[in-house]
Structure 1
């Protein structure tokens, strides 16, 4: 599961409003977070707001029955948005004799339950409370007895109380997209989403991650639709009523939450890895670019298979893009599902690739599907590995700088969350299982794995992963099994590492100082983290020292709250780089002179060290224009972007050479996002002398550059701005549309109303959210557009959109008109009908 759809939405906005990339925001956050997280606000008294919360213990599900196989025969009532199903479940008691079977079954109508012998069924007695189905088996079965029951049922997902998290916004299990074809701008689809325990909203099962089953799914649909499910496509049978029944078989066992279906009018683009099918399911409009979007998948499969020493384990690998998906992506066994944002046209591919999320879901096929966490408390055994695969792929495919950039963003995400939340990675005392899908399980977990790799070395790291996977394949695991795999390979007791990084909350906060005297470099290290909640860490790392223009590395191991290390050095160091590998998850405060920072920028070849130096020097940009000017020429795009960011407070007449360089970058930088940043840097200088550059930007092939050009040109106040920018009204690209909507929010008159309505109806989920926000501002300044049609449009979205944050944006836009009695009445009805707990609480505060 990729939880980052909200950060992806944020990225799209940053691209439009901050000049084509998220680097301004990310750099600012990283810079703030790297100062100290001890400065986070504290709650009443002496308890920090981030202090771990005490909840009841959450063990793994007790195994009373073992679910061996599930056969599903499903059809659909599109009008009612319901699934009609017959489920045949083959089970046996796990160990102790059993007479009663309890299944998860959420919101069903149960029509009949039979014990099956061949094709003959004997009715069984049962009770049902809408969540749990309790079946009297009629006799006691032992662990040597298999039995099969058949359940005839109807699933009604839209009648369920909707809950979710920031990672998975809904838990209805099965979703009908535009089922009545009322929206001409959206395809008709059905898809499922099982994680965490929502598969039981579309078929009865034992909905726990420590259960495994094989499965057959028979899907009855209109013959115009393409189907996808786990495992191997077996057959398609034409029915007399014009429908067809397609059979998919999953022959290797997997957890119920990984079962999936996707149904729609997809274009299927065929690829392969070795002798396995690799297929990409996209909307027909994107069949021409599908291979460019997903085309690195076979190379990823080869890379991960060789790196792990375990070949991709399933019968095929398919990837499907669906509308209104409730997360970023989901690693269903052999068939991952992705949000619609992955569908890009040729021009969008100039600026974007989705290799990170594609690698993430693929790596789950080993870590999560092949070996599965036994409980949600152990979720990092799935997500931290998938997160780290993004680093591994970036390192392999794009180089050390891109990998370091990915690591920097992960650090920033975790440290930002750590200001208000610090929990152990493996946490049995969570309040809700959805709480596990946070930046701890993903970002922190990935960085912890990187530290472990650096500590034991590459060969031992990947040998240990091989052992973990081969010893535990097709089983459920807890963190001790991961630790033991590493210990068996390395021969070292690694309890200390797993205890402080997996089982304890927080991170080290270090204050470092260094002095040199008489041939000795003295390094003083203090651990400043609050040891009421966090440990005194054991930290093996390296100190890099430059003398005479040469770098040497010196290993140290921190074990105390305050410690001094003495290193023999022949001359006064030019630079001391604490954590020379730049691998530590934590906050390091190490004061350096401007001279040392300049030396660090020019001589450390590591992107993170250059970024740190440039960021600190950039706090006094007027004094560091030479460094900034050189950074503008850096080979790595992110450093160039940070250099542009540093110029925000520099007057354009301070250095004509830099101004000329920024102008050149705005015209010619090879990276679209940096070119966009340069354009907005010029715009930030508040003069219309660069209008010709903005005009050229409006014709650029990069949408990010065009979006920056729109913002910049609008900011000139030119008389022809409306006329010139109106030519982008028919553009469907999200960055361009968001940029234009921000202009029209304040400068558009009543004549732009139809444009807003059209974009709201046709935009993708993330874009719809931001356009609705601009629309709210537009309505506030255009009272004549606050019509019954507007109220109806926003009401429909606020009540019926599948994505909670889109419903929220429509509700907020309606609030602009809340002085109207009829609107206030609508808002109250929306609040009363809302089933998502997050929105219910928000609406209570708003009304």
Structure 2
């Protein structure tokens, strides 16, 4: 454990000290995009508390040199997974220095091309020890100071690279290597409090940023790619409010000196709560229109909440993972409640409950199990906390959480630690709670229903859903009043759902009313369910083509195109400049629709074909490439560039992209025609791509 744990163990409780206690790591790292490798130097400070014959540091597939303990060269063993040290250390404080080299297969990712690349990390579940000698055991906490050196690309006209890591930026220095004439910049980041190794991060790329400050003075840095600078405000909407709310609601001051957020391309998850420096997926970078389809608010709040639940205190093992994900999910939902209101809050709880109820029919693994599903760790864990808060009251719950965090700060915890504080501040049967919510995979229907029934909105929604079998004529007045009311949109969307199979001549006035009211969520429901547009409703439906939602626009365009094919040229003229959100989904839809509906002699056919195939290339993210592949391969499966891009996809960091590429190649090479085509492109591929293609052709 880290040094602060040693202090706390002396002060607050009796705990056996580890034989070896790592206190700090100062590391210098130089990732190289072209070679996809990293060179570095590590300076560890550790304390030997009791005799031991071996000191172990996790290090996957690394090479080492210059290993010194307390300034003297020592023997070591490198077994490919760990660096093992046998001599040179003494009881008490020691210092360890060495250089290392790694070519990581995971945890450190190189995205894009040499002219426009990003480098970023994902340590949780991937192990930081693939790129930085560290500790896979989450119970080994230490302070990290990382110096990142970047090499500027002098050939391209570009914004200078920015390197981001954990903690405060204490120094930035740019220098030119005398012999090579290359320009390097070193960014020195320092942490002052201990954390687990999986929370160490790097993010390198072209970024601009803004700095805000919380109500308590914490610097809040928000990064974005230069091309997305105009999307900064929409992407980070409500961020200040989320930070101030969580700090107040949790009752413990934000435990670090700075907080920054950075979106990266092709990130493996929605977000990751690296201490002081959250990474999140580029998909959440939105403009004013895309903001109505999806937003970063929940992920934003979730990753920030982890800075208390996961970073400040960390679960001792996977069995207690809900202490991180359940808490982060619940506090994120409380932050959304602050922003979007009580009805939204209960709608989300209702959604969680329905998903858990369905999953419980086949999922036999309870929350307190390291193999539990994400649904159990996150949503069921959050519902358990809501039930607990509902039972003991907000005041007792807040006192419990505050005391629990303060007592175990910078250390590791398990479920019993939290429940002990519940018993301290409330007369509550934690044993039954643990058995019902955490140790049983059954759906606690009685307890959940009792919580949900406290919402008048949920009561009304359930009552409305029970009326689905009633004749429309018996519900017309009720539906009309609902659609004209100020009630929360799911009630109105339920009305639209119940119109789906009704004769249009009877439901048309209600559809018109729904569109007139202009609630984007309700209008989206109309665009999803009313797919065959009657001629009498064409003019009103065409208004959806200009609604402030890319999803609504896309649905409306396809529905109109299919309903009125004779007017396809007019519709293609309307949508010819559509781009949509960052994922290019809308643009791909427009291109594909045109290529499917128009002859090859059409004016834009060859232009649109090349554009669609271009989106399958490495300059674009997987969320763009996969749908582009799916559409392009249907129409142009023999295109040489398309096949090259398909092979390139097999070396992508996202498993979904890799799987898609491999599956499609395996499918095509079963046919002799495609085996010939793939053999023809072999000389144009990189050595790694050649090896992978040959392997797939032989499998």
Compute the displacement of 1:499 (Å): 2.5
Counterparts in 2 of 1:680 and 1:261: CA distance versus 1, 3 Å: closer
Q: Is the 8 A contact 1:214 1:253 kept in 2?
A: yes
Q: Does 1:209 align with 2:164?
A: no
Give the match's secondary structure for 1:213: strand
Residue 640 (structure 1) aligned with residue 574 (structure 2): no
Q: What residue number does 1:19 align with?
A: none
Cα distance 1:470–1:80, how it changes in 2: closer, same or farther (>3 A)?
Answer: same
CA contact (8 A) 1:673 1:704 kept: no
**How many matched pairs?**
648
Q: Helix, strand or coil: the match of 2:300?
A: helix
Where does residue 683 of structure 1 map in the other structure?
531
Task: Judge which range, 343-352 or 319-328, deviates more.
Answer: 343-352
Aligned to 1:386: 328
Q: Distance in 1 between matches of 2:148 and 2:98?
A: 16
1:464-483 alignment runs, 5 A limit? 464-483=400-419
Which residue in the other structure is 1:615 paired with? 465
> In the alignment, is the contact (CA less than 8 A) between 1:321 and 1:343 conserved in 2?
yes
Distance 1:624 1:618 in 2: 11
C-alpha separation in 2, matches of 1:367 and 1:373? 9
Name 1:560's counterpart in structure 2.
none
Once the two structures are TM-superposed, the CA of residue 373 in structure 1 deviates from its matched residue by 0.8
1:267 aligns with 2:219: no
TM-score of the aligned structures, taking structure 1 as reference length:
0.72
**1:39 match:** none
Residue 217 (structure 1) shift: 1.0
- What residue in structure 2 maps to residue 75 of structure 1? 30
Pair 1:437–1:259, CA change in 2 (3 A): farther
From the superposition, tell whether residues 697 and 818 of structure 1 become closer, same or farther in structure 2 (CA, over 3 Å): farther
Q: 2:555 — aligned with what? A: 708
Contact 1:308 1:463 in 2 (8 A): no
Instruction: Tell me the TM-score normalized by structure 2.
Output: 0.86
In structure 1, C-alpha distance between the alignment counterparts of 2:301 and 2:282, rounded to whole Å: 17
SS in 2 for 1:391: helix
Structure 2 gaps of 5+ residues are 1-15, 153-159, 178-182, 690-695
Unaligned runs of 5+ in 1: 1-60, 161-171, 182-186, 511-538, 542-578, 584-603, 835-842
Alpha-carbon distance in structure 2 between the residues aligned to 1:390 and 1:64: 39
User: Contact between 1:795 and 1:826, CA under 8 Å: does it hold in 2?
Assistant: no
Q: Residue 98 of structure 1: SS of its match in structure 2? A: coil
- In structure 2, what is the Cα distance between the partners aligned to 1:146 and 1:825? 65
Task: Give the Cα–Cα distance (whole angstroms) in 2 for the partners of residues 826 and 436 of structure 1.
Answer: 45
- Structure 1 residue 741: Cα displacement: 6.0
CA–CA distance in 1 between the matches of 2:665 and 2:231?
A: 38
2:112 pairs with 1:178:
yes
Q: Which residue of 2 aligns with 1:104?
A: 58
Could you give the per-residue CA deviations for residues 112-142 of structure 1, whole angstroms, max 9, x where no partner exists?
Answer: 42213xxxx3222222222122221335x44
Q: Which residue of 2 aligns with 1:806?
A: 657
- Determine whether 1:124 maps to 2:113: no
Measure, in 1, the Cα distance between the counterparts of 2:557 and 2:664: 24
Alignment partner of 1:309 out of 231, 251, 260: 251
Question: 1:136 is matched with which residue?
Answer: 86
Q: How does 1:164-203 map to 2 (within 5 A)?
A: 172-181=106-115, 187-203=116-132
Does structure 1 retain, via aligned residues, the 8 Å contact 2:500–2:530? no
Deviation, 1:250, is 0.4
1:821 aligns with 2:668: no
Cα offsets for 1:606-654 (capped at 9, x unmatched): 222222222222244546533444443452112211221221111112x
**Distance change (3 Å), C-alpha of 1:774 and 1:419:** farther
Q: What do the CA deviations read for 1:220-261 (whole angstroms, capped 9, x no partner)?
A: 113521121111110112223221211100001111111111
Q: How many angstroms does 1:327 deviate by?
A: 1.0
- 1:534 aligns to what? none
Tell me which residue corresponds to 2:508.
659
Q: In the alignment, what sits opposite 1:532?
A: none
- Deviation track 1:137-193 (CA, whole Å, cap 9, x = no partner) reads 335x44xx1211112111211xx3xxxxxxxxxxx1111112523xxxxx3111111
Tell whether 2:384 aligns with 1:448: yes
1:299 aligns with 241
Q: Indicate the SS of the match to 1:239.
A: strand
Deviation at 1:509, TM superposition (A): 5.4
Equivalent residue number for residue 296 of structure 2? 354
Partner of 2:522: 674
Aligned mates of 2:627, 2:640 — CA distance in 1: 22
Q: Does the aligned pair in 2 maintain the 1:710–1:739 contact within 8 Å?
A: no
What displacement does 1:769 show?
Answer: 3.0
* Deviation, structure 1 residue 311: 1.0
CA distance in 2, matches of 1:822, 1:100: 59
- Check the 8 A contact 1:75/1:85 in 2, yes or no: yes
Shift of 1:493: 4.3
8 Å contact from structure 1 (residues 374, 478) kept in 2: yes
Quick check: 2:360–2:441 contact (8 Å CA) kept in 1?
no
- Matched residues in 2 for 1:122 and 1:624: separation? 88
Q: Which secondary structure state, in structure 2, belongs to the residue aligned with residue 252 of structure 1?
A: coil
- Please identify, of 477-486 and 267-276, the stretch whose mean Cα deviation from structure 2 is larger: 267-276
Q: Distance in 2 between matches of 1:500 and 1:419?
A: 16
Alpha-carbon distance, 1:314 to partner:
0.6
How much does 1:580 deviate?
Answer: 4.7
Task: Return the offset for 1:726.
Answer: 5.6
Measure the CA separation in 2 of the matches of 1:748 and 1:111.
63
C-alpha change, 1:770 and 1:420, in structure 2 (3 Å) is: farther
Please name the residue that 2:456 is paired with.
606
Rounded Cα–Cα distance in structure 2 between residues aligned with 1:636 and 1:765 = 35
- CA offsets 1:662-707 (integer angstroms, 9 cap, x no match): 12423x34332321322344434x5333222343322333323211
- The whole-number CA distance in structure 1 between the counterparts of 2:367 and 2:547 is 45
SS at 1:287's partner residue? helix
Equivalent-residue separation in structure 2 for 1:313 and 1:102 (angstroms): 29
Give the aligned partner of residue 255 of structure 1.
196
What is the DSSP-based 3-state SS (H/G/I as helix, E as strand, rest coil) of the residue aligned with 1:189?
strand
Comparing 384-393 with 746-755, greater Cα deviation is found at: 746-755
Match of 2:629 in 1: 772
Determine helix, strand or coil for the equivalent of 1:281: strand
Measure, in 1, the Cα distance between the counterparts of 2:468 and 2:595: 33
Q: CA RMSD in A?
A: 3.0
- More helix by percentage: 2
| Alpha-carbon separation, structure 1, partners of 2:678 and 2:482 | 52
Please, which of 631, 635, 647 is the counterpart of residue 795 of structure 1?
Answer: 647
